[in-house]
Amino acid sequence: MAERYTCPSAPCDAGATLLGLIDENGRVGYLTPAMTIDQEFVEKVERGRSPRKRFRFAGPCVEEKCEQWTGSRCGVIETVFEAVETLDPEPARPDGVLPRCAIRSSCRWHAQEGPAACAACPFVITDCR
C-alpha cells in the first residue's frame, strides 16, 4: 500500500483539517492539536472574506489529481522556496526550532523537503487574490 501524505494547502471543505490561522503579518499560526472542520464551519467562514485568506487547511494529498502535481512531487513548495528567497523573510523562528505542526508526520512538503519546508510553510497563504 502506498504511503498516504497530507497536503498542507488544501481547500476549505468539510472534513479538512484546520491547520492554522493567518495573522496580521501574513504568517500562519498553527493550531495543535488538529481540528477537523465540518460543513457548518465551511458555511460560516464562507460568508466573509475568502476562508483561505484567513485560514490554512490540510487534507489528503491527491497527487496527480492536483494541478500542482509535477508528475512526481508537489510543485507548491518549490514555488514557495522561490518566493520566500525573493522576499528574504526572517526565519519562522530565529532559534531554528520548527513551528509546532499537527501534520508534520504525514506532510507532503516535509516528506519532500524536510525541515526547510517547515521553515517556509508559515509564509504560505493559499488565496492571494
Per-block average pLDDT, block size 10, for the chain (129 residues)? 81 95 91 93 91 93 94 91 65 69 94 90 75
pTM: 0.85
Report pLDDT for 87. Answer: 55
Contact partners, residue 34, CB within 8 Å, separation at least 6: 17, 18, 19, 58, 102, 103
Q: What are the start-end ranges of the E strands in the chain?
A: 6-10, 17-22, 28-36, 55-60
